[in-house]
Structure 1
């Protein structure tokens, strides 16, 4: 999932360099949402791993 966030971030950077503002904003928004979902799943996974080991 983090790979997809990085891919959309790179797409946003490339689009911004070439002047495609709408595409850059859309790709950046998608990358941000995917990254936050990744962070939530990471925290849940760490908590579940900690609870399971005790």
Structure 2
């Protein structure tokens, strides 16, 4: 998921340099969404790993 965020960030940078502001804005929004989703998923799994899954094993 982080790889996709970086791919969309690179697409946004290239589109911004070429003057395609609409595409650049959309790519930045997608990259930010994917990055935040990955951070939230990481935080949830970290908390679950430290609490719930430790009791199961």
TM-score by length of 2: 0.89
Distance 1:45 1:10 in 2: 28
Q: Say which SS state the counterpart of residue 8 (structure 1) adopts.
A: helix
Distance 1:43 1:36 in 2: 10
Two-structure CA RMSD over aligned residues (Å): 0.9
4+ runs deviating over 4 angstroms:
none
Deviation sequence 1:9-52 (CA, Å, 0-9, x none): 00000000111000000000000011110010000010011012
Deviation of 1:53 (Å): 2.3
Gaps of 5+ in 1: none
Aligned residue number for residue 54 of structure 2: 53
Distance 1:41 1:47 in 2: 10
Gaps of 5+ in 2: none
